[in-house]
Structure formats: C-alpha cells, structure tokens
Structure 1
C-alpha cells in the first residue's frame, strides 16, 4: 500500500495549476477503487461484470478525468447474487494480500431497486479511520448497442506506484457510455449533474461520433421505458435542477469545474447539429 504522504503529494500536485486542492479522502477512494478493479481482473467475476459510467471513464480511458464516488457494472452473463458475494470475498482477500488495501462487502442497499443489485463496499486505505464505503450498482438486464471491450486499469498517477499496469477488465465502449449518459440526462427520474458533465466531456473532446449514437438512441430509450418527450423537451425540464446541483455535486470531483451555462450550451449545440433535439430518439 502506498503511504499517506503520496496522497498529500498528489493533492498538492493536482492543485498547482491554480485549481482547488482536492481532499486526500477523494484520492484514497480512487486508489482503493483502482485496487478493487485490479482484483476483479483476476477473479471469475471478470467474465460476468462489465464496467461502465463515469468511473470507467476515469479508471480505464482518461486517467486525469474527474474523480468518482461509486462503481457501476452491467451483467454480461447471468449469475446469482450469492455467487457474486462469494467471489467478492475471494477478490477482497486477494487485493488485501497483494496490496494491504481492504475492500470488502459491507451491506446490501435496503431500498427497492428495479433491475439493479446494489450494495456497499467498505474500504481501508492509506488514511486512518473507518466507516468509509463505495456504492456499487450492478444492472441485471441491459440492451447494449456496442460490444464491450477489454481495457487496461490505468495507474493514472505516479503516486499510485504500487498499482500494476497489466490488469484488464471488460468495459463499455465510449459510444455506449455516451449513449447511456444521453439517456440519463433526459430521464426525468434522475438528477445527476455528472451525467451532463460526462456527456459534455465526450462531445467536446470529440471522443465519440454522435451520428453513430443517434442510430441507437430510440431503442435504448424504449428498452428503459423512456422516450415520451423529445430530447430537447426532456433536457429543458431538467435544466433548473441540474444547474442547482452543479457545484454542490461536482466541485469535489475535480480541481476546476467548468461553468454550468457553458457546458449546457455546448451539449445542446452538439445535439442540435445532429438533429437530436427533436422527437424521442431524435
């Protein structure tokens, strides 16, 4: 396990560009997530769990991306929850043996979850103290437009110097992540500014082809039981809520947060240019 000093050094280094200094606790969680994923790469669960979402962007595509609070997976193949729990125990033991990091099953989420298995992992890394948890959501049934791909788990920072660099897991493609983020940002039941931020990053960085995503949007919406309103209408209804929570939910995940208004305008411009602000799915 890396010493606590490494987290402090990393926090200072990231802030040198003039941005805010991120708490060491944010970096510790990222480090422990990375070690969990390294453990997954050698566990039988690697054949069942497909990594997705903003944390997949951070840990498997863009090492300097925003930090995350949780992990999201989709079941690529059917597996009973009991088998997941038993494999998690083996995974936790292997991670602790290799690194000294503790990442173990803590509790199931008691709330109702349609099509999702949700639980929490307790973790202990370089910082003292207990009671630290990572939320894990596993989607049970999902329609994928693009086949998942093997991706390396990125070390990302030289301060994480004990992380191996040869581990791989199955991950959503960037196009699939963007498609899910577009659906999420128009879903009236969901209010997560990170969905808008992730979509903006992928669009503005030209990491995806919106035309390719457009072809699959209607089917993805239909699978999730959405699509009554146009994309433009659905976005407009959520603007105030996303703006309200923008800084509160995202400021602690990056050193410099772009203004909401600029991100909002950019996303709408990209969607408009591809004819995606009209009816459901386009």
Structure 2
C-alpha cells in the first residue's frame, strides 16, 4: 500500500447523501454538491504551503466561515500577493491540491492548461480567474466547474482572522462533531460587510444587496458601525470612488436591473426567495446604522423554561432527519420571514398557525423545541416532532426578541 492509500479516508460521499440534504434544504441537488466541493477545495487551499496564506473573502466566506447566510455561493474569492498571480505556478499548485483532495475524500478536481486566465480589473491591475472542473458525488457526465477570483489589488484594513470551514457533510477529516474541514485565513466580519457595501455601490448586484442586509442584522456587529464605516471609507478610497450614501445607492442606474435579476441570480441559491422590496427598503436601516442614528437593537433571547437546556444549534445548515422542516424554519427566521406551521400537539388545537420563528432549544428530556411568537404576540414552544409541515410566508416581521438563526 502506497503513501496515498495510507492517507486515504473514505471515498467521495454518496449521491444519496447529497439528495437527502437537497430535499431537506429544498435546494437543487447540483447546488448542494457544489457547496460540498467548495468546502473541500477550501480545505485543500488551507493545506497547501503556496496558498494557505491567501485571504478568503466574499459571500462564500460569510457562509463558510462566519454564519449561515442560506445563500449558496458558487465561487471562491481571495486577496493574494502579486507574486501569487502566476498562471503557470497556479496550475502546478492546484495539480498538487487535486492529488491531496483525491487522497482525502476521493473528489476529482480537474486542472489543465486552461484552468487559469489572467485578466485586468477596472483599474488596469492584473487579476486571475480560475475555472476548475470536478467529478463529484452526482457523477455528472459533463463536469461542473467552480470559479476562483484572485486579486492583489485590494486593501485589507483590519487584521485577518483564522476561522474554521463549516462542513455539514459526513466526511469531515478532522472532527465530524466540530463540523469543519480546516481553518483558513479570512476577512473579519466588519471587513466583509465594508467590502460588500462598496461592491453594492460599484455594481449593485442582487447577491451584494442580499449579503449586506443579511450581514448587517448579525448581533456580532452590535456597537461596530464606526469600525465598518472606517473600513468602507478606506476601501472606497482605494477604488477611487466616493463613499456611498443611501441617496447614491437609491439613485443607481442599476435599480431596475437588480430587481429584474433578483429572482434569476438568487432563486436557485436560496430555499425560498425573499421579497426584493423588503431588502431594498432595509438599506435605510443599514445607512442609518452606519452614521450612528439607528444602532442595532440589543434584543434579549426568548426566555426558556426551567426544563430547557442551554444547548444551541450549529451555526451552519445541517441535517436533522429526512423529511424535517427545521432548516426551512431557521432560514425563515434568519430572513425575518413568517412561517405557517401545521402543528399537531398532544392536546389542544390541531392545524396551521402563522408565527415568527426565533430559536431552537432542547428540553432536558431530549425533545427539540421551536421557539416562536404567534399572531397574538405570545411566546410559544412547538415540539419539532409534532410539526407536520412548514411553509415560508412572503410576510416579513420586525424581531421582538433575538433571532438566533
């Protein structure tokens, strides 16, 4: 047995595991497969000595390293040094990463002479675009591709963080209980938000609007508006653009285009597409927060009863069981959308009720509870095993308590 065979763990996960996740999360199977591949590719980049110093950023960084955004991204973005922008050396490096991936999980990464291309950004600076095919669990006859964007023309304002790569699948190499594959150098949460706001000002794409609103809501940003504003100003100065205001975003010539493309660009990346209008109007809150006139509210958790433990769910999407609707409830809460739950209690009213979802708890007896506020503004806890169906409503809500999703 050779060294590679000695290192080999299990083969690539089964297409049934992908299908189970896709059905539970209400996503296309190919979207889930790509999420699996992105996680392992990140682990390979973190492992290789030529790439482990890269700074991970962008929407995939938010989701893979910080918190569950529920938007399944399709590419990996990195800030690198100019010496890293060498097409030939990148090809050699990713050939080695491909070998490592095959040894670790059986994933087939396809690297060839056309995998990397040098481009120029709007400032005439060199960038690299990579497109890497892969042979994943679904075994598609035409290999899908993941995209890499590498740039050295970027200012990093705050110290980089080292974060775990969250991975809900069954083949995590270090500790399946920990739910991550590796640890990567990445942008801090304020830096990610500052860069997303700048991107929104420059390009006004649906994914940037979604990420700005979703990230702004995160409780880890309470009291950090000034920090984000400083980061935003530095990044805009580097890009030679004015620091955006609510008025400049509102007056963008891309307003109609971003609304038209909202469904086309995000519909396949989310379990349920929130209203464009809700996200567009919440820019008011973002810019009022940035200028200090509207701080993020410090909401309290829904107080558990004596029978409830202090357990909290994983930060990332996971599998609860086949047929479960828990992740759909978590998605709705994170996006401030009400849900209609068809509930069948042991005693009391059976049937649908529309509620605001806030959190999950386990009782000391091991029962999973969904903590909600009903239409009479009453706190209720619903046993997950008594929930028969869940549907996400288009109606949004303003949180009364801390949303823990």
Match of 1:99 among 96, 105, 111: 105
Q: Is residue 2:150 matched to residue 1:138?
A: yes
1:140-173 Cα offsets, whole Å, 9 max, x none, are 1211111111111111x2xx10022351111111
Map 1:45-60 → 2, pairs under 5 A? 45-60=50-65
Determine the structure 1 residue equivalent to 2:24: 13
1:68-98 Cα shifts (integer Å, max 9, x gaps): 1111111157435133222111111100111
1:105-116 superposed matches below 5 A: 105-106=111-112, 107-109=115-117, 112-113=120-121, 114-116=125-127
Aligned partners of 1:46 and 1:170 also within 8 Å = no
Return the offset for 1:229. Answer: 6.5
The corresponding residue for 1:254 is 270
Highest CA radius of gyration, 1 or 2? 2
* Cα pair 1:74 1:139 within 8 Å, conserved: yes
Match of 1:72 among 72, 77, 81: 77
Deviation at 1:124, TM superposition (A): 1.1
Task: Give the conservation status (yes or no) of the 8 Å contact 2:79–2:154.
Answer: yes
Corresponding residue to 1:195 among 208, 211, 214:
208
Instruction: Name the structure 2 match of 1:161.
Output: 170
Deviation at 1:26, TM superposition (A): 0.5
- 170-179 vs 205-214, which deviates more? 205-214
Segments of 5+ residues of structure 1 without an aligned counterpart are 15-20, 278-282
Is residue 123 of structure 1 aligned with residue 134 of structure 2? yes
Aligned equivalents of 1:232, 1:276: Cα separation in 2: 16
Alignment length, in residue pairs?
Answer: 266
Structure 1, residues 117-145: CA drift from partner, whole Å, max 9, x if none?
A: 11101111011222311111001121111
Describe the shift of the 1:80–1:182 C-alpha distance in structure 2 as closer, same or farther (beyond 3 A).
Answer: closer
Higher RCO structure (Cα 8 Å, ≥6 apart): 1
> Pick from 205, 211, 220: which aligns with 2:218?
205
* Greater percentage in helix: 1
1:35 aligns with 2:40: yes
CA spacing shift, 1:117–1:235, aligned 2, 3 Å:
farther
Hey, what's the Cα distance between the residues in 2 that align with 1:207 and 1:239?
A: 30
CA shift in 2, pair 1:50/1:196, >3 Å: same
SS in 2 for 1:134: strand
* Whole-angstrom CA distance in 1 between matches of 2:103 and 2:273: 37
Tell me, what secondary structure is at the counterpart of 1:128?
coil
How many angstroms does 1:223 deviate by?
A: 0.4
My pick for the range that moved more, 249-258 or 98-107, is: 98-107
Q: TM-score, normalised by structure 1?
A: 0.87
**What value does the CA root-mean-square deviation take over the aligned residues?**
2.2
Match among 231, 239, 242 for residue 216 of structure 1: 231
- TM-score in terms of structure 2 length: 0.61
Q: From the superposition, tell whether residues 273 and 169 of structure 1 become closer, same or farther in structure 2 (CA, over 3 Å).
A: closer
Using the alignment, how far apart are the partners of 2:162 and 2:66 within structure 1?
Answer: 11
1:25 to 26, 30, 37: 30
CA shift in 2, pair 1:259/1:151, >3 Å: same
1:143 match: secondary structure: coil
* Distance change >3 Å, CA 79–CA 108, structure 1 → 2: closer
Greater percentage in strand:
2
Encode CA deviations 1:257-277: one digit per residue, 9 max, x unaligned. Answer: 221111111122220343389
CA distance in 2, matches of 1:213, 1:64: 19
* Of 238-247 and 59-68, the range deviating more from structure 2: 59-68
- Give yes or no for contact 1:32–1:103 (8 Å, CA) kept in 2: no
Segments of structure 2 that go 5 or more residues without pairing to the other structure are 1-11, 174-179, 294-405
